[in-house]
Amino acid sequence: MSNRERSIMSSFDYKKNSVRAGYFIMLLALIALAAAMLYPFGTTILSSFKTKQEIFSFPPSFFPQQLEWSNYKEGFKYVDLIRAFWNTLILFAGNATIPLLVVGLAAFSLSQMKLPMRKGITLFFMSTLMIPSATYLIPSFLNLQSLGLINSYWAFWLPAGANAFNILLLKGFFDGINKELFEAARLDGASELRCFYRLAVPMSIPVFSTLLIFSFTSTWNDWYWPSLVLTAPEKYPIASVVYRNIIQSLNLSWNVKFSVLTVIMIPPLLFFLVFQRNIMHGLNLSGTKG
């Protein structure tokens, strides 16, 4: 007997014309979806090598007639990407540390500790996911202003510790860990903090890696919130710098703008391609272990 696992459909099913037609339709749909998703990236990259005349030519051309590398040189004159990149890394460092210290402990408490009204607290966190983020934007700004945290990176790090989605994601993973491991550690005299850092965290590397990747992409792409809480331009992350100095600029041609957008698009794409396995593995584990 073959040890190969049987799929949903057998080899006999694949010989049917109706099954082949269905797979052909799904293949066309996937190709159309992939083309729709890749088209903006291709347009941005190829337009960064075009001349100003090619950008506004009609009918428009997808590929440039020649590669204009001078667009990148001119684009770097209008934005300090090195400082903006450093500011973004500082924000990411705080946003990556907070989930481990605060969100992880909250999720561990709801999952492995006998808290009063634990189900009610979990339901409260779930209900906050239904609230649009625009409704608490102004209250959050006023709270940070009353605390004197405007124009400070703490205006980003403190809200990162109150992310209900991350709490529920980690809780779903912690629920799948055998509770007997923690009971045995407690019998040996381990505290709850020791159980978390010595047992829960090492076994939760995939889901924590997923949170770090999500944190990186959100920090890299966020421009609206930094524009509200940061008043000093030298503290702006890369998305805010590009939006203010490139997107809103009326003096730059579109080919130069596309060159800067291409440069800042590369790091998150590489980050995702390298760690995409961690993303899928972490989400699958957190979704099936509950």
Residues in Cβ contact with 62 at an 8 Å cutoff, skipping those fewer than 6 apart: 42, 43, 46
Residue 103's pLDDT is what?
A: 86
Residue 29's pLDDT is what?
A: 92
- In SS3 terms, 133-183 reads as HHHHHHHHHHHHHHCCCCCCCHHHHHHHCCCHHHHHHHHHHHCCCCHHHHH
Residues of the chain falling short of pLDDT 50: 1-3, 5-6, 286-290
pTM over the 0.85 mark: no
Question: Average pLDDT over the chain, rounded to whole?
Answer: 81
> Residue 92 and residue 86: Cα distance in Å, rounded?
10
CB 84 within 8 A of CB 147: no
Residue 33's pLDDT is what?
A: 92
Listed by start position, the domains of the chain span: 11-74, 76-288
Superfamily of domain 76-288: MetI-like (1.10.3720.10)
**Helix, strand, coil shares, percent, the chain, to 5:** 75, 0, 25
Strands (E), the chain: none
